[in-house]
Structure 1
């Protein structure tokens, strides 16, 4: 596992939510310095901290480990699922229609 890539993903997910490292560390009940070390790739989070980060950031473990796992398909699917979880019912209907249309229009 590439600790730097994992740290960059955690950092990006945190910034997407507009959180400081202090805010995320409070939510996960960890030291802010430890979080910054994880984000910089200097440290690897324990399993307990990794799970807490996933829950707080509302991302799947696969999303955070995507660069370390084989199969881009699972990464794309997790990204899509993450977006769908955030969508309103109206947006979800639109997403479904767009995907259906793209699948029907794409050559085999």
Structure 2
């Protein structure tokens, strides 16, 4: 496992889940936006101090930065979700999406979890 790359990917996931741009995360963490890009790509070997700034900006427990998921499990979960809603009418899918947004917001990740 490449830890800087894994942490960078997780930071990108959390940023996108909040609906933030790299610039918005950089501002919230008092960092430069180009630095955030390097961190997300795994090009930067960030200090614990910088990592703490990012965690504080996200307002999540530190453990969330190290919560790596197996992409296969993630794909299976997404496929299951698609199967569950695929036969529903548009109105029902819209209602399910609204509920999902509310659940995600309650979990503390924001409503902007468009892509992950």
State the distance in 1 between where 2:11 and 2:26 align: 12
* Structure 1 length-normalised TM: 0.59
Aligned to 1:66: 67
Instruction: Considering Cα pairs closer than 8 Å and 6+ residues apart, tell me whether 1 or 2 has the greater RCO.
Output: 2
2:10 is the alignment partner of 1:9: yes
State the distance in 1 between where 2:36 and 2:23 align: 8
- Calculate the aligned-residue CA RMSD, in Å: 2.1
* Secondary structure at the counterpart of residue 43 of structure 2: coil
2:49 is the alignment partner of 1:48: yes
Which structure 2 segments of 5+ residues have no match? 69-104, 109-116
| Larger helix percent | 1
Offset at 1:84? 6.9
* Structure 2 length-normalised TM: 0.55
Aligned to 2:35: 34
Which structure 1 segments of 5+ residues have no match? 68-82, 87-108
Aligned to 2:21: 20
Runs of 4+ in 1 over 3 A off after TM superposition: 83-86
Aligned to 1:70: none
State the distance in 2 between where 1:36 and 1:4 align: 12
